[in-house]
Amino acid sequence: MSTKLSVNINKIATIRNSRGGNTPDLLKVAMDCERFGAQGITVHPRPDERHIRYSDVRELKPLLQTEFNIEGNPREQKFMDLVFENKPAQVTLVPDVLGQLTSDHGWDTIANKDYLKEIISEFKKAGIRTSIFVSPDLNMIDGALETGADRIELYTESYAKDFFHDREKAIAPFRVAAKRANEVGLGINAGHDLSLQNLNYFAKNVEGLLEVSIGHALISDALYFGLENTIQLYLRELVIR
């Protein structure tokens, strides 16, 4: 089983929005990512539309040939409407707060179980696979199962932060989390601060990893290596060796 690479194109939208106009062309970049080997495209629209715009999602949907993953907070009705309108392959539920710079915590799937269960049932009726952003905590994984989610997305900031200090310690909770997810039948995605430096070790040690969503590091690397070459480099890191 190979792990799929979904490229998060939020940073492309950030660059475009900083000057107005349509440079870089977000739609072309997304299609190029697919052409260069990416197996999915991820977007994370936020209410202030400071990077991905809701109109971007509508324009991307008919163009993409790979899996489309829309991330966001389901408590925003505008986000919910967008997902149901465009029916991506996957929706990833993230507990962002208004104005948050970037995602920095996973769901408390126990405290929010009833809410998430209700929301996820609606996505399932629409035929949309659902993933929940969680920290590598066994209680949160068990709670995710109770919500009816198809997958979890492991929040990997702690792994990336500690990787160069003690990689064994950094990966340990993710190994345990993956074991539990596999035991209970939850699919496993991962994302946040994964990079060329830490990706292979993560993929090698997290059993059953189905998909990684990577944006900031990948787009930053593309400034040096070029987008096509960078995507190939990331795909290479997902080959277990």
Contact in structure between 52 and 9 (CB atoms under 8 Å) = yes
What positions carry a catalytic annotation? 44, 71, 192
Query: Does residue 37 sit in helix, strand or coil?
Result: coil
Contact in structure between 67 and 40 (CB atoms under 8 Å) = yes
Contact in structure between 93 and 107 (CB atoms under 8 Å) = yes
Contact in structure between 189 and 151 (CB atoms under 8 Å) = yes
Query: Which amino acid is located at 76 in the chain?
Result: E
Q: ∠114-90-61 over CA atoms, to 5°?
A: 130
Burial class (CB in 10 A: 0-12, 13-18, 19+), 99: exposed
Tokens of 5: 């690479």
Beta-carbon contacts of 178 under 8 Å, excluding residues fewer than 6 positions away, are: 154, 188, 206, 207, 208, 209
**Which residue in the block uniquely carries the two structure tokens 């994302």?**
191
